[in-house]
Amino acid sequence: IIFNCSYCFKVLFYFKCCKILTKKLLNCSEIYCKGPLLNAAQNAFVFNDSKSFVDMKLKQDPDAVLAAFADLNQIHSGQIPVEAVKQFVAKYFDQPGSEFEDWVPLDWTQSPQFLSHISDPQLRTWASDLNVLWKQLGRKMIGDVFVNSSRYSVIPVKNPVIVPGGRFREFYYWDSYFVIRGLLLSEMYTTVKGMIENFLQIIEEFDFIPNGGRIYYTRRSQPPYLIAMVKEYVEATGDKEFLNLALPTLEKEYYFWMNHRNIEINGHMLNYYASDVNTPRPESYREDIYFKQHIFITEDANSLLSHVTSACESGWDFSTRWAGTKYSSEIEVVPQLLTRTIIPVDLNSIMAFNERTLAEFYRIIGNNTQATTFYEIYEKRAQTIESIMWNQDDNSYYDYVATENSQNKVYFASNMNPLWTKCFPSTVNVTEREEHIAIIIIYIQTNGVLEYPGGIPTSLRPSGEQWDFPNAWPPLVLLIIEGLATSNSSLLQNAALQQASKWVNGNYKAYLKSGFMFEKYDVTQADGVAGSGGEYDVQVGFGWTNGVVMSLLDRYGDTLKFDSSTTPSVEITSSEMTTSSCNVIRPITSQAALLYFSFISLLFCIL
């Protein structure tokens, strides 16, 4: 028998980390996840951002800190003054971020090949700057995290990571897919493999990947992009041995979603976001307490927090999307959330992509039985998406509201996710698929979605939440552009190029003005303005923004040019918009009408 010592070491390390994680869950929950100390510290406003406190390191073991707090509470008869709480935190906690040290990836290279494909010298220099940013966003856990793990809220993983940036000090699940897209273009294959190995380790402990790399995120996940990460890595490296080792764990995560985030609709099995947590989020504690105490009556409060946490699991925290058909612009969005009643079209499109990709993976390693099984599962879901989520009259996919047995017929960028996954059933031939794509673009064009100077809006509702108008988010923009670009229609490919040019130029202008890459942007501004809204200030860094721009420069680098001119921005006034009962904003342009008739002509040619 020949033993693979390297693999044995990894297995032993995984078991060690699993023991650490189990211990952390038992010992840390009363400080970082719930309990009187968490409540006192957050309500004392030790930090303006609730997340900062739960990212602090304990100076002593949890039991000692909890005992000291119990003594303090007894001294003050349960009414601890704010200043005493702040002094207690200063005595027993270190500053946030002390679990990491800066780390320069060993596989970083100054001149990755993709840079040579960018013809515009200014854009090429900018792409080189973005490549350098990976060194600034690299983090490695200090040794003490593994020795005294119960003193930290961070989930210990053996390999260094690339973080988003700003307040997001740790790794995040779906962010990592778009980060990895950029890292692979930077030829940082070892870093990517290490990040994926971290996720595989975490699945072996939790059966799923948490929202992010903190213990307080372990009651919810995020959009399941790990299979897509592995696909990108294997296609870039040809590492079939790694694929073979990873497959059982990938399947384990898949079945988490099928067993714990599944719902039956009219005899069809679909997935939805459904965290069962009904307590305040530790990282947004005060915000949740506010909504629980001041907005909802007592019997509804716990249900609301479950919808809130489920919305966080979607990655879209927050959006009018999760209020479903009941949304009203007259009150705040969060109290209206009904996330657990909504069957998201993008989640199910991603799950179909995962099923088809698992079939491909098993075919690659020679397991045709499993390949056939997963392809049949994929085919069934693809048919279900078409039958339940496709609207023939509106020419669009929509989320499905389970409690009403109806679609939520409102524009969200997620409606177009099937363009990217290309998860059509085999009963739809190539010509019909192209027709499908073309009429979807008619839908978004007639809604004015492609006409904004700063990108593609997440929604058309100016709710004040960050996953609504006027914000555009890099991952959504990339998936829509790639969905258009992979069509066989030159008209749609040109639309993709135009959106890519608009996005790249806007991001670059923002970078020139500020020196930063932002997590989101304002679509009404042509010259690169950071987005707004939500529970925290706009963040810089920024992992997925960098990865998206690099992906677009890789695809269009021989074509894109820096446009130094200033394009007029959209001013939202009553004379320049139409507003429906859903409070939808859309610019009225002659180009929209022209492109509408162009798409009608395209459909005529197809038919």
Q: With beta carbons less than 8 A apart as the criterion, state whether 213 and 172 touch.
A: yes
Q: Which of 317, 355, 386, 527 does the annotation list as catalytic?
A: 317
Q: Which of 204, 379, 519, 527 does the annotation list as catalytic?
A: 519
Spatial distance between the Cα atoms of 583 and 604, rounded to a whole number of angstroms: 33
Here the tokens at position 565 are 């001119």
b/e code 515-548 from CB counts within 10 Å (16+ = b):
ebbbbbbbbbbbbbbbbebbbbebbbbbbbbbbb
Identify the residue whose tokens are 């987005």. 531
Task: Give the DSSP per-residue string, 268-297.
Answer: EEEE-------S--GGGHHHHHHHHHHTS-
Q: With beta carbons less than 8 A apart as the criterion, state whether 318 and 311 touch.
A: yes
Burial of 486 (0-12, 13-18, 19+ CB in 10 A): middle
Q: How many CB atoms sit inside 10 A of residue 80's CB? A: 18
Spatial distance between the Cα atoms of 256 and 76, rounded to a whole number of angstroms: 46
Q: Where are the beta strands (DSSP E) in 17-60?
A: 57-58
Asked if the peptide bond before residue 318 counts as cis, ω within 30 degrees of 0, the response is yes
Residues 6 or more apart from 360 whose CB is under 8 A from it? 231, 371
Q: With beta carbons less than 8 A apart as the criterion, state whether 112 and 185 touch.
A: yes
Q: With beta carbons less than 8 A apart as the criterion, state whether 23 and 150 touch.
A: yes
Q: Is 468 a catalytic residue?
A: no
**Number of residues written out for the chain:** 607
Spatial distance between the Cα atoms of 167 and 181, rounded to a whole number of angstroms: 22
- Beta strands at 100-102 and 390-391: parallel, antiparallel or unpaired: unpaired
Q: Is 317 a catalytic residue?
A: yes
User: What residues are paired with 58 via a beta bridge?
Assistant: 93
The residues assigned a catalytic role are 317, 519
